Structure 1
Amino acid sequence: MKLLLATALLLSIAWGSGEEKKKEIEKSRNVIAHVAYDTPAAFGFGNSFYLDADKDGTNDFMFTTVMVSNEADIHTKYLVNALNKNEVLSVEGSAAINEDGMPVAELGNVAWSASASEIIEQVYSDSRESWSGTWSGDRAQYIGIKLVKDGKSYNGWVKVSIDQENETAFVEGYAINRAPNGNIAAGQI
């Protein structure tokens, strides 16, 4: 009888902790709004991509390129623009780049900015092409975004990849923490 009661108690505890874990997972899923595109959205020269992160019919961010030339060089800048009162995590005018799992937050000289932020720059000089900027260019990385709505801020990320060979960039997906001022890590869903 004691063995039966002990077994029942252990099963009850195990089932209860499993239920708590299940509720915790469900709660976290309800906090993060996530979209992964089946076909990544391309942006490049002459082709901008507008992101309506909260799906309210108003564009929140624009991914685009601008071309600037001087005497011998042509610079194509791949940019993310925060629209309305939204912001992008930036460092000295460049989009702050997060690796998978890094927290999306201000840190040191990385701060939220409403200005356009450069993702990567392509330079043609003397018939040679080069790429520069904080973006590595060889893998998908994340840009921190802040959606500002009804006086509240919602932190998130946008996953971007760059195809240097075809001179195109792609938005692969994004996530927003639905809890005001809630934390989120790059790639968290």
Structure 2
Amino acid sequence: MTDLRRELGAVDPEWTMMLPAGWERIDADDRSLDELLERLKQRLMREHGVVAYAQTSERLRRAIADLQARGGTALMLPLEQVEGAQYIPASLSAAFIGASREELDATVAGLVADGAIAFGGDRRWVRAQSTQHGVEGEEAAALTTVRYLTPVPRTQRTRALVLTGSVLHDVGHEEGDPFLEGVLRVLDTHVATFRWLPRTAS
């Protein structure tokens, strides 16, 4: 289905959403990544040294490569510390997925069976949350992931957008932890501002 849509010239609709202070949205392509790293290079090397820049560069390249492999289109993350605004140690990615209507419905049903819920009471959105321990090669590190899935308009539920929020934290900072719950509330609040943009005439 995805390949056929591309062959027929179908284009996924544009979208927008509010982001936390200091966050930016970048396209998931090598050119956008290179431009971002060039912008960050001088500041990171001046404030944190060559090693910090190298580590940041490698993490971002891995993140973009992984996102591209999953059909990702955009990465949203904190890039600037804004005075008076709380730093949110998380990121969001956006990816389009394509399947038959039955396959996509089965995917949603599986998420619901695993505990996913309608996001904000809107049945067009499904929110699924999970936590993985022992990430980044550290036994004490955990990754909580929140996936927000919604069908793409006018595709008869054969295509969906998945927004994925990722929060790296210490093991033990799971459900009920004030820090993690606060970060997840921020992600929920901003994803709730998501909207599709009107298609423009070609």
- Scaled to the shorter chain, the TM-score interval is under 0.3
Higher helix residue share = 2
Report the TM-score, using the length of structure 2 for normalisation. Answer: 0.24
Report the TM-score, using the length of structure 1 for normalisation. Answer: 0.26
